[in-house]
Every structure is written in C-alpha cells, then in structure tokens.
Amino acid sequence: MKQLRQLPRLYLYAFVFSLVFFGCANRNELNRRRPIYIGKKQTNFDPAVFKLIDTAALYEQEDVFTEQYPKPPGKYNKQYLKFYAGGRVGVFYINDSGDALKDITLLNPKRANLGYYRSSPEGFDIVTHFEHVQGGGFIKRKLIKSTSEMLEFSYDDHTGVKYRKISLPKSALIYSPDW
C-alpha cells in the first residue's frame, strides 16, 4: 500500500525531469533549434583571431569520399561554415555554393545550426550544435591548420575535415546571427 502512495510522486518527478531536460531549448520561425545554454561565449577577442578566419567569407567543407564512403547518388547537402563577429559561427547545409551565391537568403543565420568560436592559449576551436533523429548534441572542432584559402579542423585525434574559403559578395553580408 505504501508503494502505491509513492507512485504519483514518482510520476511527478519524472514529469518535472522531462520538462527540464527537454524544455531547455526553443525554436525560431524557421524551426531551427536554439538551445538556451551551450557554453560560455568569449567576449574579448585577440585581433590575431581574424588572421585565421575571414568573417566576410563562406567556408565549404571539402568532399571526403572513399571506397568505404562513396559519394551519394544525386544531390546532397554540403556543409558550410560562416563566421560572424562576436564569436559566433553558423553551420549551413546547402546543395551547392553557387546556390548560396545566387540566393543570399540561404545564408540567413536563422537557417543555420548555431555555434561559437573561441581563441585560447591552447588554440582556436569551435563548438556547434547539431540535430539528429536519434538525439542532438554538440561537436567541438579544434583548428589544426590555417592558410589563406583553407581551414583544417580536427574532431579528435583521428578525424579531420577541411574547409575551402569562398569569397562572398557584399550583398550577402547583410545578416547578423539570432543567437
């Protein structure tokens, strides 16, 4: 009998936990998830950061297809990074960079997965949010190589990804991030 009286309390605890766990995010008008807290933003930047990245450019992920991971048939969305002032970075998924240059609304930060970049004595890294049907989370990338035309990031000691710089026209630089 005592166990039956504790059952409503257990349901109440589960309900409150699920509200806290699943309710710590909101969505914008384009249905992109905006977590309330993803980490501490860096507010003071060393000007040397802007020698590594260009906030007036788009960075396209290089294709990394192998025999084990072949290129998918048809069109697929490529990943692009757009750095903004204030330590923000947006991750866009677009079919082709030509599409982004023709239709600048594809570069609206409200369409992007949000993220932040920071510079520290350990190096330059970015943290981005992603969504997946099996659950979302955060990805941290550490810059391992930077040239005037290429950025190379590492997810861990074994996985690296390269981003090629694409210049954007001034007409595409009208947006500011919503996070």
Predicted pLDDT of residue 87: 84
Please give the average pLDDT of every successive group of 10 residues along the chain, which has 179 residues.
67 67 58 57 68 89 72 75 87 79 84 84 80 70 84 76 89 80
Predicted pLDDT of residue 3: 65
Burial class (CB in 10 A: 0-12, 13-18, 19+), 154: middle
Contact 140, 127 (CB under 8 A): yes
| Domain contains 145 | yes
Predicted pLDDT of residue 82: 92
Q: How far is it, in rounded angstroms, from Cα 112 to Cα 178?
A: 10
Domain of 91? 39-172
Predicted pLDDT of residue 19: 57
| Domain contains 33 | no
| Domain contains 152 | yes
Predicted pLDDT of residue 59: 92
Predicted pLDDT of residue 31: 62
